[in-house]
Structure formats: C-alpha cells, structure tokens
Structure 1
Amino acid sequence: MTERADHARYSAGAGFPRTGPARTVTFFPPARLRTRTVIDGDRVLVTVFGDLDLDTEQALRRTLATALERGPGGVDLDLSEVGFCDCSGLNVLLSARQQALGDGKAIVLCAASDAVARVLELSRTLPLFAPGAPED
C-alpha cells in the first residue's frame, strides 16, 4: 500500500473502532510543475510554474540538468510563478548549483516569488544565486 493510501486509511480511521460519524478524507492531486525553457545566446532561461516540493522535485531536477547541458554559459532561473517551495525544492536548486559550478557555469536567479524568496532567505542561500555569486 502506498504512503498516501496508508495516510488516508489512518486519517479516515480505517481499522479503528468508530465512535462518531465516518470522516471523509479528500486528497488533492499535487500541483503540476510546468516549465518553459528558452535558449538565449549561451545561456538558458528556465521559467517555472507550480510548486517545488517532494512531488515535483524529480521533474525540476531533470529540467535544470537539461538546461545546464544546453547552456554553455549557464542558466537564468525565473521562479516568480512558483506558489510553494519546501526543502525538497531548495535541495534541487542547491544540487543544480553544485552541478553548474562543477561544469564552470552558474545558475542565476532572475526572479522569485515570495514563497521561494522566503525559503532562500531563511536558509541564507539567496546570495548563492546572485550574479557573480561565490563558489562556496
């Protein structure tokens, strides 16, 4: 059984004696991650729409890896349309940055939503995505 199914059974009280009315558990599908990639000279602009979380991290990881392959100068990242970002999203961004640095490239954040800015500020990683950011 999947983790979500286990959670649904537990939340609904499956397997436990019921003392009150049955509860309905509603799960919403994870927000889809959409990206737009535009090659601009030696850099690639990646615009991300949706949420950056555990459900979308692999899609973002693949998108950024492909963008780094296509952009000899690196990647410009527009996250202004991201509605939610958690530590999974942050980890993908930091991993992609390390990959870029290893290839002599940079990932530069050109725009960020409040949700992304908050995570980057709280983790003190926002300066790592600025133009001319230190290599650690």
Structure 2
Amino acid sequence: MPPARFGVQQHNRGSRAEFTVVGDIDLTTVSLVRSALARCPRGLTRTVDVDLTAVGFCDVSALNAFLEAAENLGRTGAVLRLHHPPSSLVRVIDITGSGRLLGPPAPRPAGAGQGENRRGQSRRGQSGRGEIPAPAVGAEPARRSRPGVRS
C-alpha cells in the first residue's frame, strides 16, 4: 500500500504530457507511476515530462519504470524526460549508463546556462538535481567489459 504522501498528477497540454510525482518511488509506489505513464494518449503525445522535484528517493524499480515508459513511448515517436531527479536516481542512472535511454535533454529556460563550466556541462545546484536526458529509444546500451569476462 502506497504511503499517504505519495501521488502522481498528470496534465495533458496538446502534444505534451506533464507528470508531477510527490513522495518516494520504490516497490510500494512504482506501480502507480507505471500506470500513470501508461495513460499517456497514444499517438497524440510527443513529449512526456516528469517532474521529480518533490521525490526524495527512487530505487531501481523507478528506473525500470522510466526505462519501460521511454521504450513504449519511443515506439510512437514520443520522448520521456526526467526533471530534477533525486540523487539516488541520478546515481543509479550513472551506474547503469542508462541516461541516454531516457530521451533528449529538456530545453533550457531563458537565462539558463549561467551555471555551466568551460565544457558547457551543467553545474548542478546545491541539491545536486538537474535534468537527466532520456536517451534515444532503441539505442544499444554501452557494454562495459570486465576482466576475465567475454562479451
């Protein structure tokens, strides 16, 4: 049973679907996220933005739900973008190398970019949150070779 403080709100705006998630995403709440993302109007939605500002923690089940949604949306030409993910999700995405599977980076608001370093990479705010580009669906994940293991 999901905690009382958990919720997913959806707003459809033309070819965009916007989701706001409140509360931790783990095995007890991930089914609500999956079912919300599955309700995107097929063929009409081009971009799905998920705002994770009010999410304190995500486990690997959340990553799986986002990757599954990105793959399903990609079949219709739509993309999934995650906004302000918690550091736990950023870590899992970095470890698995799956950031590129979640779609293109979100467009920057006017005046953004002031926190970039010389390479144009964003310096995240004190909370460590930023945009996670959702990679192109269908792209092969990077394979890491391990000593003594053949691919």
Q: Same fold (TM over 0.5)?
A: yes
Aligned-pair distance for 1:96? 0.6
- CA drift of 1:129 comes to 2.3
Q: Which residue pairs with 1:11 in the alignment?
A: none
Structure 1: unaligned runs, 5 residues or longer: 1-28
Q: Residue 20 of structure 2 contacts residue 50 of structure 2 at CA under 8 Å; is this kept in 1?
A: yes
Partner of 2:45: 72
Does the Cα contact within 8 Å between 1:46 and 1:67 map onto a contact in 2? Answer: no
Who wins on radius of gyration, i.e. which is larger?
1
Which residue of 1 is the match for residue 64 of structure 2?
91
What are the ranges of 5 or more consecutive residues in structure 2 without an aligned counterpart? Answer: 106-134, 140-151
Per the normalisation by structure 1, the TM-score is 0.68
Please state how far the C-alpha of 1:127 moved relative to its aligned partner: 2.7
Aligned to 1:31: 3
RMSD, aligned CA: 2.1
Q: Does 1:110 align with 2:83?
A: yes
Change (3 A) 1:73 1:116: same
Please identify, of 58-67 and 122-131, the stretch whose mean Cα deviation from structure 2 is larger: 122-131
Sort the Cα spacing of 1:96 and 1:103 in 2 relative to 1 into closer, same or farther, 3 A.
same
Stretches (4+) displaced over 4 A: none
Larger fraction in helix: 1
Q: Equivalents in 1 of 2:86, 2:42: separation in Å?
A: 26
C-alpha distance after superposition, 1:59-108 (max 9, x if no partner)? 11100011354852131111122111111111111111111111221111
CA distance in 1, matches of 2:100, 2:58: 17
Q: Give the Cα–Cα distance (whole angstroms) in 2 for the partners of residues 68 and 88 of structure 1.
A: 23
Partner-residue secondary structure (3-state), 2:70: helix
Matched residue pairs, number?
108
Asked if the contact 2:51–2:82 (Cα under 8 Å) also holds between the matched residues in 1, the reply is: yes
Paired residues of 1:68 and 1:74 also in contact (CA < 8 A): no
TM-score by length of 2: 0.62
Q: Structure 2 matches for 1:1-136, cutoff 5 A?
A: 31-32=3-4, 33-69=6-42, 71-131=44-104, 133-135=135-137, 136=139
Residue 42 of structure 1 deviates from its aligned partner by: 0.9
